Amino acid sequence: MTSATLNIDLTAVVRNWQALNALTDCETGAVVKASGYGLGAGVVARALARAGARHFFVATAHEGAELRTSIGHGQDIYVFSGHMDGDTTAIEEAGLIPLLNSVDQMLRQVEALPGAPFGIQLDTGMNRLGMEPAEWSAVRDIAIAQKPVLLMSHLACSDTPDHPMNAQQLAQFRTMTDGVDIPRSLAATGGTLLGPAYHFDLTRPGVGLYGGLPFDGAEAVVTLDMPVIQIRDVAVGETVGYSNTWTAKRPSRIATVSGGYADGLIRAIGNGAILYNGDVACPIVGRVSMDLITADVTDAHGIPEVLQLIGPHQGVDALADFADTIGYEILTAFGGRYHRTYTE
Ligand SMILES: *Cc1c(COP(=O)(O)O)cnc(C)c1O
């Protein structure tokens, strides 16, 4: 079975990075965790490094080690999960910068890798990762004496600009870090859009680079073209797919395309998503199955060979809306089965 083609426009990724960079007077990093939001961390990071990005962020030391192999030693790679038990070799050999989340992690770091660079993640209210205010007060002077390279925190509600949590976390971050002469970072994509008060020394956009909300000025990055495996004509009253959820109300032509929920096209997108034959909308009919999707191509021009699920007519966030989820989840769910092509 021929797999669907996921095209990633690296020039659009670079332009999105440049556009976010142009919004600030500080450094702009790039978050490439989860295989670069499903698009390929190594290729994305190499393109951004050529464009001038010097700071990359991943979730785990394992991701960091892989990224180091792809990009070489010119750029910083920070690890959000910090220094976990078992990470020391990867951190040391790949020259990663763990963002330490607790006193336990700090002890592990200074015992295992004395003198090696690290940053500190502070919890300013999200209650997910980072040292709590009380914990930080207790170790702050000792920690700062070890010269961390970055102090960072993460916003819980930055996709909602007028949410009071934003100002509250900003104030907490300032209380915890003002007066300390160490670079600071608070903003991901959403925070970058909140304005200069949130920028500090380094921003960490992820989803905006890949064309996703909340960066509504982003250029689209992804197109997904799905090859048609088979076409059939069905009569009024015939059903399509598992559980007979769709019944033909007119004589209809049905195309079966290669790709399904095992490729991250979760079943819930069937609740409204459309495959496009050029400009002609061919609605998904019947259930999305593991490897296949069926669409009504009665109105298509001729016999389509390929139908487009993600592209100018329907972006990643539009697809996410049908499934009542967010673009991030659609992107990171793309599996390993696609033929990935890159436009440079
Ligand atoms: C994922 C993540 C980011 C990037 O967030 P986006 O919303 O994708 O820009 C930045 N910082 C931290 C701590 C993260 O976990």
Burial 235-263 (b: 16+ CB within 10 A, else e): eeeeebbeeeebebeeebbbbbbbbbbeb
pLDDT in tens, 41-77: 999 999 999 999 999 999 999 999 999 999 999 999 9
242 is catalytic: yes
Helix (H, G, I), strand (E, B) or coil at 68: helix
Q: What is the pLDDT of residues 249-284, one digit of tens each?
A: 999 999 999 999 999 999 999 999 999 999 999 999
Q: Which atom of ligand 1 is nearest to the CA of 159?
A: 7
Going from the Cα of 58 to the center of ligand 1, the distance in angstroms, rounded, reads: 9
187 lines ligand 1 (CB under 6 A): no
Could you report the per-residue pLDDT of 215-243, keeping only the tens digit for each?
999 999 999 999 999 999 999 999 999 99
- Neighbour tally for 339: CB within 10 Å: 12
CA–CA distance, 220 with 284 (Å, rounded to integer): 22
pLDDT (tens digit per residue) in 79-121? 999 999 999 999 999 999 999 999 999 999 999 999 999 999 9
Nearest atom in ligand 1 to the alpha carbon of residue 212 is: 8
Q: Is 315 in the pocket of ligand 1 (CB under 6 A)?
A: no
280-298 confidence digits (pLDDT tens): 999 999 999 999 999 999 9
Q: Which atom of ligand 1 sits closest to the CA of residue 192?
A: 9
As a whole number of Å, the CA-based R_g of the chain is: 23
Dist. CA 188 → ligand 1 center (Å): 5
What percent of the chain clears pLDDT 90, i.e. is strictly above it? 99
Give yes or no for a contact between 332 and 34, defined as CB atoms under 8 angstroms apart: yes
Q: Report the pLDDT value the prediction gives residue 2, as an integer from 0 to 100.
A: 82
Residue tagged active-site, from 37, 210, 242, 261: 242
Q: What is the pTM assigned to this prediction?
A: 0.96
| Band of pLDDT at residue 36, cut at 50, 70 and 90 | very high
Residue 1 predicted with pLDDT over 60:
no
Tokens of 57: 């962020």
Q: Average model confidence (pLDDT) for the chain?
A: 97
Ligand 1 midpoint to CA 113 (Å): 26
Q: Is 55 in the pocket of ligand 1 (CB under 6 A)?
A: no
If one residue of 13, 17, 31, 81 were mutated to test the ligand 1 pocket, choosing by the most ligand atoms within 8 A of its CB, it would be 31
Closest by Cα among 33, 4, 47 to 311: 4
- CB of 211 within 6 A of ligand 1: the answer is no
- Which residues, 6+ apart, have CB-to-CB distance to 192 below 8 Å? 20, 23, 24, 28, 198, 199, 203, 205, 208, 215
Q: What is the DSSP string of 6-37?
A: EEEEHHHHHHHHHHHHHT-SSEE-EE-HHHHH
Give CA separation, 328 vs 40, 236, 240, in Å. 14, 39, 30
- Catalytic, 249? Answer no
Query: Residue 53 has what pLDDT?
Result: 98
CA of 165 to the centre of ligand 1 (A): 17
* Residue of 58, 204, 326 to mutate, ligand 1, most atoms within 8 A of C-beta: 204
Per-residue pLDDT at 343: 96
